[in-house]
Amino acid sequence: MRIDIITVLPELLESPLSHSIVKRARERMLADIVIHDLRPYGKGKYRQTDDYSFGGDAGMVLMIEPVYRLITELKKQRTYDQIIYTSPDGIPFSQKVANRLSCLENIIILCGHYKGIDQRIRDHLITMEISIGDYVLSGGELAAAVITDAVVRLLPGALSDETSALTDSFQDGLLAPPVFTRPADFMGWKVPGVLLSGDPSRIREWQEEKSLERTERLRPDLLEQKENG
Ligand code: SAH
């Protein structure tokens, strides 16, 4: 899968996408993540990428020309399945959306900044808009990093134990069960005995029970969603 991320602040994306599972997926060529600095596509001597908004509202707006130029160049090289804009008013990001995106071949993620982006970019170039939650960030970079991380770890081969993605929270509409590691007894705080039993079917049964119990207690809305398909 190839993910092209367009930003005016490439530095903000470098570290989140250079460690752990995402790093490994990139090294294994499962994910080709290319971060594009929008600045060189900017106008004039100062490579301007944003300007004041018409109507006099406070805050700078990302201009359409540099974005159009870069996206047009990318589109000449390959076909994109989705051109995503990260935005507080987009569809809520979820494991379901991550699963869907992980099946695509090529996507672009455009990060907004300051006041947002010229509406004509959204009307004519963007095919999907995603929000990572009901709050406002300074820029789309952290949102793009969240989306990329959640998607890339789902690519086959990205996790060393592939089945572990299946037991993560939300994957089956439930929260994950609690996990423990050594020591089995820390100052009298003991690991549940069943996990030490070595009996895989009893362990699975316990985990399913705990998953359900935690979901009922912490996120009953997930169970309703599951029932309603
Ligand atoms: N004026 C806009 C917010 C701009 S915030 C509004 O009220 O809707 C600046 C940029 O940060 C946005 O262009 C977007 O790309 C990004 N951003 C902010 N909050 C976000 C969120 N919850 N999810 C995804 N992207 C977000």
Predicted local distance difference test score (pLDDT) of residue 162:
63
The answer to pTM > 0.85 is: yes
Question: What is the distance in A from the centroid of ligand 1 to the CA of 213?
Answer: 35
Ligand 1 atom nearest to CA at 114: 9
Share of the chain above pLDDT 90, in %: 90
Q: Within 10 A of 30 (CB to CB), how many other CB atoms are there?
A: 15
Q: Verify whether ligand 1 is closer than 6 Å to residue 89 (CB atom).
A: yes
**What is the tens place of the pLDDT at every residue in 131-151?**
999 999 999 999 999 999 999
**How much distance in Å is there from the Cα of 126 to the middle of ligand 1?**
15
Query: Could you tell me where the DSSP H helices lie in the chain?
Result: 11-14, 20-27, 64-77, 95-102, 119-124, 141-152, 200-218, 220-227
Average pLDDT over residues 214-223: 97
Q: Is 137 in the pocket of ligand 1 (CB under 6 A)?
A: yes
Q: Rounded to the nearest whole angstrom, what is the distance from the C-alpha of residue 164 to the centroid of ligand 1?
A: 32
CB 34 within 8 A of CB 2: yes
Q: To test the ligand 1 pocket, which listed residue (87, 94, 141) has its Cβ within 8 A of the most ligand atoms?
A: 87
C-alpha distance from residue 175 to each of 36, 149, 161, 202 (Å): 36, 19, 19, 19
Mind listing the pLDDT tens digit for each residue in 173-207? 999 999 999 999 999 999 999 999 999 999 999 99
Residue nearest atom 8 of ligand 1, based on CA coordinates: 88
Q: How far apart are CA 223 and CA 229, in angstroms?
A: 10
- Structural domains of the chain, with CATH: 2-152 (3.40.1280.10), 169-227 (1.10.1270.20)
Which residue is closest in CA terms to ligand 1's atom 20? 88
Q: Taking a C-beta distance cutoff of 8 angstroms, is the pair 42, 66 a contact?
A: yes
